[in-house]
Structure 1
Amino acid sequence: MTGPISAEAQPGVRRQRTHRLRTKLILAVLALLAAICATIGIVSHLAMNTYLTEQIDSSLHESAARSAGPKDRPQGSVVNADGLSSLPSGQPNPLDTRGQRPGTLLALFSQSISPTTVIDSSVVQSDGSAIALTSADLRQIQHLPTTGEATEMDLSIGTYRLSASSTFMPTGGKLVVGFPTAERDSTLNSLAWTTVIVSTAGLALIGLVGTIIIRRSLRPLDELSAVATTVASLPLDSGEAPINVRIPPMASAPGTEIGDVGVAFNNMLDHLTRSFAARHAAEVKVRQFVADASHELRTPLTSIRGYTELVLLSEKLTPSGSSALRRVDSESRRMSALVEDLLLLARLDEGQRGAPDSVDLTDLLMETTQDSRVAAQDHTWALQLPEEPVLVFAVEAEVRQIIINLLSNAAKHTAAGTHIQVSLTAAKGMAALSIEDNGEGIPQEFLDRIFTRFSRADAARASSNGSNSSGLGLAIVDALAEANQGTITVTSVPGRTCFMLQLPVQEHTN
């Protein structure tokens, strides 16, 4: 018998990840805050970068104007791009480094002699002195256009923002002025790290506080879930178990979303309680009516059977009259059996049972199987028993009735020549009795209701002797098995049907 296929086993069905609601809310809030912090950080970084870069560019213009100062200062170094002197020794230095902040780069190229001729170059040091640029750095900056637009370059002395112009050189030279970007980059790095640290700390704090708030806000859902779990564990199918649990008042206060759910849940439980009580009362009345009707029918049915037998034995009847009376006798016996089954179910519903005692399943199974073999000689029977007796603590008459019904069911609803295997085993504190046949099998759609009262499958395992089934035999089996703390199950495929009865084994006492 095959059961329902789980979602994990179904092809093409992807297993979805599930998370608790509070986890989703916390993650959603943190994700939104992280996005906001990232946006603020990026915008702040871009704005600060623009501001500091504009300050550098403004300083480049001021430094260029300051460097074109007096020409009668002490001479400086006159070096071209190859490191060779281009002007006679003793000519005044055209660049003025006084008042320039440390790190300022100045380079003056001649436009009249050669575009690559360096008149003067200097990098202001922290003590106010100046050193000349290397030839490699000069070759990098000598081709800058004199548009005045600033650009950034990686030189041997660091990253510089440079601007070339000829405005401040009346002799037609090209002046290149540069400032290091180290201070700007350091400020931007500090801003970035500050943003990351503050955002991380803020997210951690918000996550902690948010978790506490959300847990407290969603606590009524936990209470609702606990109540629902309790209700799900109640034996509501019996109709006698009252639903006494309710959502607490704190979790069912109207006006909030969770409170409204709690109120609706309590209203549903009240409605279910009333409905189950009404159904149980109706079932009790029906069972009482069936019990009373069955009890009242026993006497007239017995009288009918007695008078029928008397007439058949004492009167001379025509063949047709004799056949009719035998038919009456047969139907009265079938009705008597039905009445007895109904009375048995009614007694079980009311808890009227015999006293349980030690029952030897091995001997009981041998007796009942032998009787069934005699009654159904057109079937082949096989009995497999353990070497040691199997004892259970149950009502012997009820266990005997279970076995008789199962054996009769196997013989009645299979064709002649069917092989019936009866087995008994004991393991892990349970006795397992199986009755298996190789008949046509039971339709799968009928298996779910095979143990309900008055359930019959017209096309399933049709009776070989043509008699009609009342649909109570297996219902009695299920009720008797439950009354003796056992279970009855069935599996069926074409060519194999197996009923399995399990009862707890009696513990041996010394």
Structure 2
Amino acid sequence: MLPHPLSLQARLMAAVIGFVSLILVIVAIITSATLGKTLEDRLQEQLDATSKVTTALVTDRARVAALRGEALTAEMAIQGGIVSDGSLLMAVLPPDSPASGVVATQNSRRGLSAADLLELTSGLQGSRSATVSLSDFGSYRVTADRTENDVVVITGLPRAEVQRTMTSLFTVIALATLGGLILLALTTALTISMGLRPLRAVAATASRVAGQPLDRGEVSITERVPDYEADPRTEVGRVGVALNTLLDHVDSSLAARQRNEERMRRFVADASHELRTPLASIRGYSELSLRALKQSQDAPTVENTTSALERIQAQSLRMTRLVEDLLLLARLDEGAELVHGEVDLSQLAVEALADAQPTAPGHHWKLETPGEPVTVVGDMGRLHQVVGNLLANARTHTPEGTTITLALAATPSGAELRVHDDGPGIDPAVREELFARFARGDVSRARQTGGTGLGLAIAKAIVEGHGGTIAVESAPGDTTFTVRLPSGLRSSPSPRPEPPVQ
């Protein structure tokens, strides 16, 4: 089983504290070594100076002892000598008498044992100065000199002061290092915790979003990383900004999906309703016709049967148009059904208005075109359908006496076609869904004229298939549908088409 992984904060703290600890240990070692060497050098200097004094003192005491016929001892040599603060070690090794040694302070004298003398001579074997440790007196720095009368004088100073200084230094360094590391750990933990707080906010936001039911119902992702945790000026903050951008995109995509699903449900419901009406009529009239034919063959029956069959034919045609419009929309959604070629919009506008006039003689029709014909690259049949649908829409939803104007103009970036009427206008409640499938501004009027509610949706699909746009502006007495087609305009020397008779 794999060990539990450390958190990012723990790893960062371990790395920082470990690195700083290593630096502090190295600094402590260098400082201690430097200070220790300095103290040892100073002690050696003091020892050299003291050794000169003791050597001279032993030389004098050796002459006196020789005159008296006495054996020279360390106690005799140091008698009356100068002892500095602390203690002074002196050992005398005469060539013709036993060795002796003493450790003297200002208030006492203690002789060295044979083991101590052996330790001194062993430590100085082959060198003038050495550090020796005596069992009863501690550590001493000693040096050996030979007098002119061949007496070896060993002088030593205690290392206790050096050791106390180094111990104090080690204690201070250890306490300072420990305190510094504790303070560093707290500061690092606080800093890293604050630095990683945006990441925790990102994780919390992602967890809340993951807990939402996104596969059903009305979906809306409202969770976001707070702005104060998503600062784009910091590396960690940019993660929060990126997550918010992603959530915005997902939220808008889910909203679009939901709108499409709702639109599809309405589409299916409306299509079912639209198909059910003519199918019910066809069924009713067919049953009536069959019953009439079975009952009688007289003239009135034949006339009624003929009328019923005509109604069946009319409803069949209406259902056929509906199905054809649905198929056309499906094909336009797939990017098919467009055959591009040169289209004379001026001639197309004349023909479309001429076709619309007989269907509504009670309306006033006007055509406005530029002096030069306007041609574009597109599908002539589909563009004719766009203009026809817009004119039919204006005719269907306005009363008699309304003036409908079809205007065409060339623009620097393309062609612009407008259908204007001075009718009652469009209800603001349906304006946003005006180009949706089965949308009707006036349901009763549309049903009377046989409209399916697909005309504007088809017009929008065709225009967008040409890379253009369609928009509407409406107010009471002033409604304008504007179609803008992209560039591809050409000037032609052909004569300007004549508008239909007003």
* Larger CA Rg, structure 1 vs 2: 2
Of Structure 1 and Structure 2, the greater helix share is in 2
| TM bin (shorter chain) | 0.3 to 0.5
TM-score under structure 2 normalisation? 0.48
TM-score under structure 1 normalisation? 0.47
